[in-house]
Amino acid sequence: MKQLYTRWGRDLDPQNVLMEYPRPLLKRGSYINLNGYWDYAFTKEFNKPEQYDGQILVPFSPETVLSGVSRQLKPDEYLWYRRTFTLEKWDERKDDRRLILHFGAVDQACVVYVNGQKAARHTGGYLPFTADITALVCDGENELSLAVKDLSDTSYHARGKQRLERGGMFYTAQSGIWQTVWMEEVPEKYIANIEAVADLERSAVRIRVSAAKNPGSGVSVNGQAAHTGAPSDEEGAESSQAGHPITIQIRHPGLYTDNDSPESKNQPNTQQMCSASGITGDWIEIPIPDIRPWTCENPYLYFFTVTMGEDRAESYFAMRKFSVEKDEDGIPRICLNGKVQFQNGVLDQGYWPDGLYTAPSDEAMIFDITEMKKSGFNMVRKHIKIEPQRWYWHCDRLGLVVWQDMVNGGGAYKYWFVTYLATVMSWRGITMKDDHPWLLARRDRAGRAEFAREMKETIRILKGHPSIGTWVIFNEGWGQFQTEALTRIAKEEDPSRLIDAASGWFDQGGGDLQSVHNYFFKLKVRPEKERAAVLSEIGGHTYREPGHSACEELYGYGACKDKEILGKAYRELTDKVRALIPQGLCASVYTQWTDIEEEINGVYTWDREVRKIF
């Protein structure tokens, strides 16, 4: 495979890798970024290496060229990381301060050590986790290390499009640390979580602040610890009975499409609009006197500050509502803020030729989102991958609706059934119950329980981002099971979003969307009485741009000899989509945003250098 680079990868400064604050929904004034060069080693046994193989540039997976390693972690191996960090004058403040260690994502399972003592254990390659390492650190130099195991597609764990033997619509498997590693120093009593739920119809917002519980107990882990069940509330957060006084100050709404800082001198409406007081653990309802609804054209955001004792954190929300409502003809339609919105979407798998899962820079993520909007899309379907939270922040501030897929797992997929036969079944309107674990690769009870836990955690982590309009639970039957029950659970976790329970086929009749994939047949729509009809994957037309393709092999649907033919095919498809809107079509998703390895069906080339479709 030919190695391609993006412009951001070529210009990467190893001393300043993804330095932006990684958690926009709970932002403090300072933090310690631990990205950069770490020592690494591959081992066959679970033993800390005496010598390391070299240095790896975190947070790029070892399989990527930007990591400096370019080597696959195999299922029978361990990948070890090591680095040091220095705490100056820690002894002078350790009695009333906490040190929290954060990992954005580590694929797939890991054990974290601080100064040789276990600090955390985590399974789930797409979800963040934290550890309170206060009791493990010392004044001066400290050692941070971790061991990673990644079974990739040989087990039931969430894996998305990763495959050890890439090809077609499945891509190079990646492993290890692939999102920012960072630390923050907080007071003894500190804010652990902030939730904001806007109520556009009542012109109010409800905010709940949770404080960390048992701060003096030593090590605590936030996230899905290996081999344990997910907590019903955020791990490390207090129960609703315990309360600390808090104040909330909400600023006037602002637009942040030209910059991503509410403190910017270019923002005229950042002064305080209203305030409220209460205690942690309680929902506090605050009337909003200045209503500016969030739309794709004007994505107004409301920043607010929470103060709890010595701790202070910033967050934001938007006044908006996603719903399915019937039009004057009785056809269910997707609505934003009570108005019909046709969601013209594009499928985005979030792969980069030089970073795989990890974008080379914040600017690279912004480029994708802004170019999507320039290309006429008002929605993006984030396909079976969870992005760093800054990606969602940019969608929030730039006004791009997100359909967020859950990350698929399960056993080995039976493509003769879930791909080929299912395509014909879907066209003929034939479905089946999802109680066939052998056919749908969900025979492992532990894998089913893990998917349910990770689905709930995904929603809890991301639901604060106003751009997310739909949760997509299953895609094309990959590891599908108990769809109706999981749809109910997802709705309980977040009643404010739409649910696409089964994208593609094997529809069980639940959720808010009747979701169909159609690459090969005449486009059509079958409107229902309650659910909105969507074409959640279409298109996939292929064209190889000379000098910008990674593979000799080609994969896609409908080969085009040149860009002119490709553009014509795309325009004809969009005309067909528009003709279906009066008949009841509510959204479409074009496959896809960029080429990826063998798959050359992108609007852009994989290196983001050539836009192929105009």
In the Cβ-directed half-sphere of 204, how many Cα atoms lie within 13 Å? 9
Q: Which of 491, 514, 512 is nearest to 503 (CA)?
A: 514
Is pLDDT at 232 greater than 50 in this prediction? no
Helix (H) or strand (E) run with residue 372 in it: helix 362-374
Query: Which one has a higher pLDDT value, 92 or 348?
Result: 348
Q: Per-residue confidence at 556, pLDDT binned at 50, 70, 90?
A: confident
Q: Which of 102-106, 176-180, 230-234, 461-465 has the lowest mean pLDDT?
A: 230-234
| Torsion angle (degrees, nearest 10) of CA 152, 155, 158, 162 | 30
Considering only the C-alpha atoms of the chain, give the largest distance between any 2 of them, rounded to a whole number of Å.
72
Q: Per-residue confidence at 227, pLDDT binned at 50, 70, 90?
A: very low
pLDDT at 129: 97
In the Cβ-directed half-sphere of 75, how many Cα atoms lie within 13 Å? 10
Cα–Cα distances (Å) from 103 to 58, 131, 222, 584, in that order, read 11, 9, 10, 44
Which of the 8 DSSP states describes residue 582? T
pLDDT tens readout for residues 280-319: 999 999 999 989 999 999 999 999 999 999 999 999 999 9
Q: Per-residue confidence at 226, pLDDT binned at 50, 70, 90?
A: very low
Is pLDDT at 453 greater than 90 in this prediction? yes
Q: Is 101 within 8 Å of 90 (Cβ atoms)? A: no
pLDDT at 258: 82
pLDDT tens readout for residues 565-592: 999 999 999 999 999 999 999 999 999 9
Q: What are phi and psi of 74, to 5 degrees?
A: -90, 155
pLDDT at 213: 79
Is pLDDT at 423 greater than 50 in this prediction? yes
Instruction: Give the 3-state secondary structure of residue 92.
Output: helix
Q: Per-residue confidence at 240, pLDDT binned at 50, 70, 90?
A: very low
Q: Per-residue confidence at 426, pLDDT binned at 50, 70, 90?
A: confident
pLDDT at 222: 42
Rounded mean pLDDT, 504-533: 95
In the Cβ-directed half-sphere of 305, how many Cα atoms lie within 13 Å? 15
Q: Give the whole-angstrom CA distance, residue 11 versus residue 66.
A: 11
Residue 108: cis peptide before it, omega within 30 degrees of 0: yes
Q: Which of 594, 493, 614 is nearest to 540 (CA)?
A: 594
**Model pTM score:** 0.94
pLDDT tens readout for residues 188-197: 999 999 999 9
Amino acid letter at 406? M
Q: Give the whole-angstrom CA distance, residue 400 versus residue 373.
A: 7
Instruction: Give the 3-state secondary structure of residue 424.
Output: helix
DSSP output for 138-190: -SEEEEEEEEEE--GGGSSS--TTEESS-BTTBEE---EE-S-EEEEEEESS-
DSSP output for 247-305: EEEEEPPB--SS-S-TT-TT-S--SEEEEEEEETTSEEEEE-SS--BB-SSSB-BEEEE
pLDDT at 269: 54
- Per the DSSP assignment, residues forming a β-bridge with 87 are 140
In the Cβ-directed half-sphere of 230, how many Cα atoms lie within 13 Å? 22
Rounded mean pLDDT, 346-354: 98
Q: Give the whole-angstrom CA distance, residue 572 versus residue 381.
A: 22
Q: Is 174 within 8 Å of 106 (Cβ atoms)? A: no
Is pLDDT at 223 greater than 50 in this prediction? no
pLDDT at 558: 81
Which of the 8 DSSP states describes residue 461? H
**Edge-to-edge order in the sheet of strand 283-287:** 191-199, 204-211, 283-287
pLDDT tens readout for residues 122-151: 999 999 999 999 999 999 999 999 999 999
- Which residue, chain included where needed, has tokens 């299912």? 422
Instruction: Give the 3-state secondary structure of residue 366.
Output: helix
Q: Per-residue confidence at 101, pLDDT binned at 50, 70, 90?
A: very high
